[in-house]
């Protein structure tokens, strides 16, 4: 993490007040939450939905923060405390991160895409850790606040940083990539996430392709070669960017030649190696993520022969295909972090394909931010189910009801239960669980379906 004197920080960002009394103070690390202060931190206050973080500046310093920023339009900065007055705390945080990034010798990998950013980030970091000191985005800290915080958390001796870059509007990825200046990037796929804001998959692709604007000359771009919206754009970058593709099709640089879905993961082979790879995470879509990560690892001179070590140590961020057990001995796939049609289909296909269960139940909720066609997207999830592969469907939410409507035409009325209250859904669901049951729980973040997983574990 960043370690600077106040004087050095004043050389990196524009500070409006006289800091002479504090120039020799040492700042170590940056936080935006006074409840997480560590000694020596720089506390950066933000105005939130509930409270203005400026209210916690004195408490933060009392708890050990070395100094705090203070936005100049907020009255009454505390006197005689190490306060750095700035025009805008967010801009100051971002400028500090930008300056710090350019001091570091670190190589940066930037990862974006509609689905699989966090998973691919975790996989890439796992593979690279076999040979390098690696730091990565923690959790889902992938936006205009989260990425700068991640950069400021980088140690000087970190060799590779794996940074997740998220967006919900045009221009956001451009900002992040020009701050991070990656040496290699991944675009996992183009789905439907944030379609409400972007309006079309073409616009989503445009937004993800912004990541190339910050890529170093001669840098590596690993992209999903099955996606025409990406492949159609390579020509304009020929000569300045080296592209490598991954995907299911054999037209890619790397594609799977053998796939075996196991109870708690996958075994697979690829065209580019004789190795048999073990991936301890569910879902063949995660083989796609793994292949993208493997192309990055190969770019950093990790041989395929060493990659199983990295793949074996992968721990996905919670609520992504997380296999847990319920009170009745049932297996639960907690995939409740978020949902879009692409990820919902990947999850229901996985459950349909998994063998060895007496009963397979889906608990699916609303997919948010899909725009005008949201009902059709949900209805198609329902009609896409197979009566011989899914036993029961429970839905939660108003849009979940559209999944139920579509499913009734294939599963029949008796096997579909639609709810608008979690308590009622849980009560009915518990009637159908035993040690041979598999349950998938999935919906958008706003639906908080992890509450159902928790209820099944009590
Ligand atoms: C500024 C902040 O911290 N916001 C977080 C906070 O929001 P909230 O408004 O509720 O804050 P409060 O009003 O409670 O508090 C205000 C500030 O005061 C601090 N404070 C409070 C109490 C106290 O005792 N001491 C304090 O110091 C407090 O820390 C606040 O700073 O809480 C929410 C709930 O936990 C957080 O969600 C919110 O975080 C915001 C959204 C954020 O941007 N956080 C980033 C660090 C981040 O990266 N978050 C990611 C999610 C990113 C994401 O959604 N990405 C999208 C794609 C990008 C879309 C982009 N356009 C965008 O909008 O983000 C994706 O699809 O992946 C994460 O948390 O996972
Ligand atoms: N390549 C993929 N194709 C389809 N679904 C995927 C893919 N990779 C991951 N998913 C699914 O997408 C959901 C989110 O996974 P993950 O958090 O890795 O994606 P993300 O892009 O980081 O999401 P976010 O945009 O919220 O940051 C999970 O349900 C996961 O199983
Ligand atoms: C929470 C954010 N990362 C996200 O994925 N939003 C969509 C709408 C979801 O929650 O499914």
Q: What does the alpha-carbon distance between residue 83 and residue 312 come to, in Å, rounded to a whole number?
A: 46
Instruction: Examine the pLDDT at 355 and tell me if it is beyond 80.
Output: yes
Percentage with pLDDT > 70 across the chain? 100
Instruction: Examine the pLDDT at 381 and tell me if it is beyond 80.
Output: yes
Query: Based on the domain organization, do 11 and 80 belong to the same domain?
Result: yes
Within-domain flag for 96? no
* β-bridge pairing 184-187 and 107-112: parallel
- Would you state the pLDDT for residue 377? 97
For residues 121-136, give the mean pLDDT. 96
Of 285, 312, 339, the residue at which a domain comes to its end is 312
Phi, psi of 73 (to 5 degrees): -90, 5
Summarised one tens digit per residue, pLDDT across range 226-266 is: 999 999 988 888 888 899 999 999 999 999 999 999 888 99
Query: In 3D, which of 292, 288, 399, 393 has the Cα closest to residue 351?
Result: 393
Task: Please give the distance, rounded to the nearest whole angstrom, from the Cα atom of residue 50 to the centre of ligand 1.
Answer: 11
Other C-beta atoms closer than 10 Å to the C-beta of 168 total: 14
Of 267, 284, 312, the residue at which a domain comes to its end is 312
Summarised one tens digit per residue, pLDDT across range 209-232 is: 999 999 999 899 999 999 999 999
Query: Based on the domain organization, do 298 and 154 belong to the same domain?
Result: yes
- Would you state the pLDDT for residue 312? 87
Task: Please give the distance, rounded to the nearest whole angstrom, from the Cα atom of residue 129 to the centre of ligand 2.
Answer: 22
Query: Based on the domain organization, do 290 and 397 belong to the same domain?
Result: no
Query: In 3D, which of 156, 138, 159 has the Cα closest to residue 147?
Result: 138
Query: In 3D, which of 314, 328, 327, 313 has the Cα closest to residue 358?
Result: 328
Query: In 3D, which of 447, 363, 456, 435 has the Cα closest to residue 404?
Result: 363
137 labeled part of a ligand binding site: no
- Would you state the pLDDT for residue 349? 96
> What order of strands is seen across the sheet that includes strand 277-279?
256-262, 265-270, 277-279
Query: Based on the domain organization, do 109 and 257 belong to the same domain?
Result: yes
* Count of structural domains within the chain: 3
For residues 108-128, give the mean pLDDT. 97
Summarised one tens digit per residue, pLDDT across range 51-74 is: 999 999 999 999 999 999 999 999
Query: Based on the domain organization, do 261 and 154 belong to the same domain?
Result: yes
For residues 93-121, give the mean pLDDT. 97
Helices (H) and strands (E) in the chain, counts: 16, 21
Of 254, 283, 312, the residue at which a domain comes to its end is 312
Instruction: Examine the pLDDT at 36 and tell me if it is beyond 90.
Output: yes
For residues 137-154, give the mean pLDDT. 97
Which tokens hold the place of 144? 């205009």
For residues 139-155, give the mean pLDDT. 97
* Residue-number span of the structural domain to which 253 is assigned: 104-312
Give the helix ranges, DSSP H, for 255-373: 285-299, 307-312, 341-353
Instruction: Examine the pLDDT at 270 and tell me if it is beyond 80.
Output: yes
Opening angle at CA 409, ends 403 and 411, nearest 5: 85
Residue 120: its H or E element:
helix 117-128
Query: Based on the domain organization, do 299 and 386 belong to the same domain?
Result: no
Within-domain flag for 439? yes
Which CATH number covers residue 22? 3.40.1390.10
For residue 140, the cross-strand partners are none
Spatial contact of 87 and 60, defined as CB atoms under 8 Å apart: no
Find the ligand nearest to 140 CA: 1
Query: Based on the domain organization, do 111 and 241 belong to the same domain?
Result: yes
For residue 339, the cross-strand partners are none
Our mutation pick for probing the ligand 1 site, out of 35, 48, 59, 145, counting the most ligand atoms within 8 A of Cβ, is: 48
Query: Based on the domain organization, do 73 and 192 belong to the same domain?
Result: no
Within-domain flag for 356? yes
Q: Which residues line ligand 1 (CB under 6 A)?
A: 32-35, 46, 48-51, 53, 56, 139-143, 145-146, 149, 166-169, 172
Query: Based on the domain organization, do 283 and 349 belong to the same domain?
Result: no
Query: Based on the domain organization, do 306 and 272 belong to the same domain?
Result: yes
Task: Please give the distance, rounded to the nearest whole angstrom, from the Cα atom of residue 444 to the centre of ligand 3.
Answer: 6
For residues 17-37, give the mean pLDDT. 97
Opening angle at CA 284, ends 451 and 135, nearest 5: 70
Q: Is the ipTM of this complex over 0.85?
A: yes
For residue 363, the cross-strand partners are 394, 441
Question: Helix (H, G, I), strand (E, B), or coil: what is residue 195?
Answer: helix
Within-domain flag for 97? no
Within-domain flag for 419? yes
Mean pLDDT over the full length of the chain = 96
Within-domain flag for 398? yes
DSSP at 388? T
Within-domain flag for 95? no
Nearest CA to ligand 1 atom 54: 143
Which tokens hold the place of 36? 């997480």
* Residue that the structure tokens 């492949």 belong to: 231
Query: Based on the domain organization, do 251 and 203 belong to the same domain?
Result: yes
Residue 108: its H or E element:
strand 107-112
Within-domain flag for 150? yes
Which CATH number covers residue 420? 3.90.190.20
Question: Helix (H, G, I), strand (E, B), or coil: what is residue 169?
Answer: coil
For residues 419-423, give the mean pLDDT. 98
Which CATH number covers residue 289? 3.40.1190.10
Query: Based on the domain organization, do 149 and 283 belong to the same domain?
Result: yes
Task: Please give the distance, rounded to the nearest whole angstrom, from the Cα atom of residue 157 to the centre of ligand 3.
Answer: 34
Phi, psi of 262 (to 5 degrees): -110, 175
Task: Please give the distance, rounded to the nearest whole angstrom, from the Cα atom of residue 190 to the centre of ligand 2.
Answer: 11
Ligand 3 in contact with 339 (CB < 6 A)? yes
pTM score of the predicted model:
0.96
- Would you state the pLDDT for residue 316? 82
Nearest CA to ligand 2 atom 9: 116
Instruction: Examine the pLDDT at 315 and tell me if it is beyond 80.
Output: no
């Amino acid at each position: 993490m960043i370690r600077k004197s106040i004087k050095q920080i004043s050389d990196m960002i524009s500070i409006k007040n006289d800091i002479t009394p504090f120039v020799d103070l040492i700042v170590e690390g940056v936080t935006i939450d006074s409840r997480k202060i560590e000694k020596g931190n720089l506390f950066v206050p933000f105005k939130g939905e509930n409270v203005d973080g400026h209210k916690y500046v004195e408490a933060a310093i009392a708890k050990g923060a070395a100094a705090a920023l203070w936005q100049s339009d907020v009255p009454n900065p505390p006197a005689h405390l190490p306060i750095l007055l700035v025009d805008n705390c967010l801009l100051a945080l971002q400028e500090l991160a930008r300056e710090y990034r350019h001091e570091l010798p670190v190589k940066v990998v930037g990862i974006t895409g509609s689905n699989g950013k966090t998973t691919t980030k975790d996989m890439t970091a796992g593979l690279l850790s076999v040979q390098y000191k690696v730091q990565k985005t923690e959790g889902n800290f992938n936006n205009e606040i989260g990425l700068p915080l991640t950069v400021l958390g980088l140690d000087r001796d970190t060799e590779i940083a794996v940074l997740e870059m998220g967006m919900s509007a045009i221009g956001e990825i451009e900002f992040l990539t020009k701050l991070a200046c990656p040496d290699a990037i991944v675009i996992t796929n183009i789905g439907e996430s944030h379609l409400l804001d972007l309006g079309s998959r073409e616009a989503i692709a445009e937004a993800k392709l912004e990541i190339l604007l910050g890529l170093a000359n001669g840098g590596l771009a690993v992209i999903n070669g099955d996606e025409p919206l990406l492949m159609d754009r390579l020509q304009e970058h020929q000569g300045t960017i080296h592209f490598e593709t991954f995907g299911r099709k054999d037209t890619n640089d790397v594609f799977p030649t053998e796939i075996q879905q196991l109870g708690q993961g996958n075994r697979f082979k690829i065209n580019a190696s004789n190795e048999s790879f073990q991936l301890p995470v569910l879902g063949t879509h995660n083989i796609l993520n793994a292949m993208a990560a493997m192309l990055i690892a190969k770019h950093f001179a990790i041989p395929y022969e060493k990659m199983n070590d990295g793949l074996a140590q992968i721990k996905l961020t919670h609520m992504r295909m997380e296999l847990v057990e319920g009170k009745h001995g049932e297996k639960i796939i907690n995939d409740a972090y978020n949902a879009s049609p692409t990820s919902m289909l990947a999850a229901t296909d996985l459950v349909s394909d998994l063998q060895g269960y007496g009963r397979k139940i889906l608990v699916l909720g609303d997919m948010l931010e899909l725009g005008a066609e949201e009902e059709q997207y949900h209805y198609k999830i329902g009609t896409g189910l197979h009566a011989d592969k899914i036993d029961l469907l429970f839905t939660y939410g108003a849009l979940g009801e559209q999944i139920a409507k579509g499913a009734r035409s294939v599963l029949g009325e008796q096997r579909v239960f639609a709810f608008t209250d979690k308590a009622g859904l849980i009560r009915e669901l518990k009637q159908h669980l035993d040690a041979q049951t598999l349950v998938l729980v999935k919906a958008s973040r706003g639906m908080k379906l992890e509450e159902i997983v928790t209820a099944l574990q009590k």
